[in-house]
Chain A
Amino acid sequence: MNDSREKIIEVHDLVKKFGSFEANKHLTFDVYKGEIFGFLGANGAGKTTAIKILCGLSNPTSGTVVVAGVNVNKNPETVKKRIGYMSQFFSLYNDMTVKENFRFYGGVYGLSSKEIRNRTLFFLDKLNMRSYENMLLKNIPLGWKQKLAFSVASIHKPDIIFLDEPTGGVDPITRRQFWEMIYEASANGITVFVTTHYMDEAEYCERVSIMSEGEIKALGRPRDLKKNYQTDNMNDVFLKIARNVE
């Protein structure tokens, strides 16, 4: 990959131990600005641990992690302002209206009322949801909620958005629409760091890493990985890596 691109995440020799158990074993990888980076791995492979460290929720046992030019270990609070986060639970409040959800998260990220209003209108117009702004979130269909969650996660114009299995429980058409949003964000220079269980989604990523047993077993463009593992789809790549482990 071409190294001249600006690095937005730099992970070097990251180790995380819980007692004697090593959840992350010497991870080293970089993510570039505006890239869509797929972070794959079976359950229990150590993905969640790594993401928590990248987001500043947890401290590494050793190694350095630099996100958006800031050492996460030393300045987690600075990093937190530069990143957005959306989980499979969408992190929205069901008993609040669409507008109130925007207002709340805008407040959490310290935006002014004017900024919050502008950003809210911007996203609602983009999603064609202007007429739903006063609807309670629980009455909104799942697919729309997902797009709203992505918008809310980017209300403060973060450099990087972490998506933790964002498309769980959503039909393929909605998933596709959601990925269009991701592409758009990426085109605007926002880096997207996404974990998923769907291997067709892995194909949408510019580069993917596949973790197993706390280590990164493969890292590269989906096209190259398929060639290396002599197969025509990411599913087989994933299975081959998982099988080698067993």
Chain B
Amino acid sequence: MWAFIKKEFLYIFRDYRTMLILFGMPLAQIMLFGFAITNDINNAHIAILDHSKDVVTREITRKLLSSHYFILDSYLKSDKQIKPAFRKGEIKEVVVFEKDFAKKMTTEGKAHVQLILDASNPNTANILNSYTKGIIDTYLFHNLLEEGKIPIRVDVQSTMLYNQQLKSVFMFVPGIITVILMLVSAMMTSITIVREKELGTMEALLVSPIKPGIIIIGKVIPYVVLSFINLIIILLLSQFVFGMPIRGSVPLLLGESLLFLIMSLSLGILISTVSKTQQQAMMLSMFGLLLPTILLSGFIFPIENMPVVLQILSDIMPGKWFIIIIKNIMLKGIGITYFWKETLIILGMTVVFVGMSIKRFSVRLEE
């Protein structure tokens, strides 16, 4: 068994491609999701059409631009310039102040600001809309407060629990951990086992006195170790680069990850028993595991919004349950009493997959 583990490590370290997939991919993914693929809005280009040009509109403009959300693209001079400005595609929003804005505010008690948004990306438009509104409201409120003219109003204060800055990286990290653990464990193990089949070395090993179970365990252990190192790298990165907290117990997080890891490994073994070539194993893990996990586990798309059929389908995605567990531990900081059900589901899946792969493995020997 020790000989096996040593050999497997030798093999992994000599094959730079494997190493690249093992350690390059997690790094690349977390950087991509953390920095590039983000729902947070920074530096959206806007244009201002100020018909009034008085103290208040200038102050509001200044407030908008001093938030880091917006960058001033241009001052427009007339309504006619709005459409061409959008067509150029650079700007996402035009803020229009009506004529005599400040005057109307003091005399009539209300004045109009029009926000025109590029809704070709509805999410961005919505977010920009509420950011702008928020900034204008705050300004007006403080302004009126200073002048002692507080109108009767209800001030709604929302508190975003667990992720106060609404950072999307908080949403992505649990997903990435899930995907990476799944991918590395399932894909790498299935590929490495199938490679032995292709090379013909599996035959030689089966003829040797070593029991098939030991062969598989020996092959799998290095990947458990490497996946675990991966997990720790991801956690460290998300904590120190993106400031993602681990509010719950770290040993519990690692324990649950280990369980999920074993589940993925047994899936990998199962895949290896049904595939004849490395490519086949890779395809199976990519399309059979990776895509469904990304799309259906709640990693990117909220499960509640899916059609019922897909919701049911998402229930059999191990990733879904694991994401719930990690979010609970990392963001809410709660203990196993709150997610023992999810843990049990993953445990059950592990047992089923291990059983199935043992059965498949012995059947294959007979063929």
Contacts and interface: CB of A to CB of B under 8 A. Distances in A.
Interface of A: 18, 55-59, 77, 80-81, 83, 85-96, 100, 103-110, 153, 162
Interface in B174-214: 199-201, 203-211
Q: How large is the interface on B (under 10, 10 to 19, 20 to 34, 35 or more residues)?
A: 20 to 34
Contacts of B3: 103-104, 106-108
Contacts of A96: 7, 10-11, 14
B206 A57 contact: yes
Contact of A93 (B199, B209, B211, B366): B199
A77 B11 contact: no
Contact of A58 (B14, B205, B365): B365
Given A95-B14, A96-B7, A107-B2, A80 B208 contact: yes
Nearest to A107: B3
A180 B364 CA distance: 35
Contacts, number: 72
B15 interface: yes
Interface of B: 2-4, 6-7, 10-11, 14-15, 199-201, 203-211, 365-367
A94 B205 CA distance: 15
Given A58-B366, A93-B7, A93-B201, 11 more contacts: A18-B367, A58-B365, A77-B209, A80-B209, A85-B208, A93-B11, A95-B11, A95-B14, A96-B7, A109-B208, A110-B209
Given A77-B209, A95-B14, A85 B204 contact: yes
A109 B209 contact: yes
Nearest to B202: A91
B2 to A, nearest CB: 7
| Top 3 A-B pairs, shortest CB-CB distance | A89-B200, A107-B3, A91-B204
A59 B366 CA distance: 8
B364 to A, nearest CB: 11
B15 A95 contact: yes
B201 A89 contact: yes
Contact of A57 (B14, B15, B210, B365): B365
A91 B27 CA distance: 35
A148 to B, nearest CB: 13
B208 A87 contact: no
B205 A92 contact: no
B209 to A, nearest CB: 4
Contacts of B7: 93, 96, 100, 104
Contact of A91 (B10, B199, B211, B367): B199
Contacts of A83: 207
A100 B6 CA distance: 10
18 contacts: A56-B207, A57-B365, A80-B208, A81-B209, A86-B204, A87-B203, A87-B204, A88-B200, A89-B199, A91-B199, A93-B7, A95-B14, A96-B7, A96-B11, A96-B14, A100-B7, A105-B204, A107-B3
Nearest to A77: B209
A80 to B, nearest CB: 4
Nearest to B15: A95
Contacts of B199: 89, 91, 93-94
Contacts of B4: 107-108
Given A100-B7, A103-B3, A104-B3, A57 B207 contact: yes
A105 B4 CA distance: 9
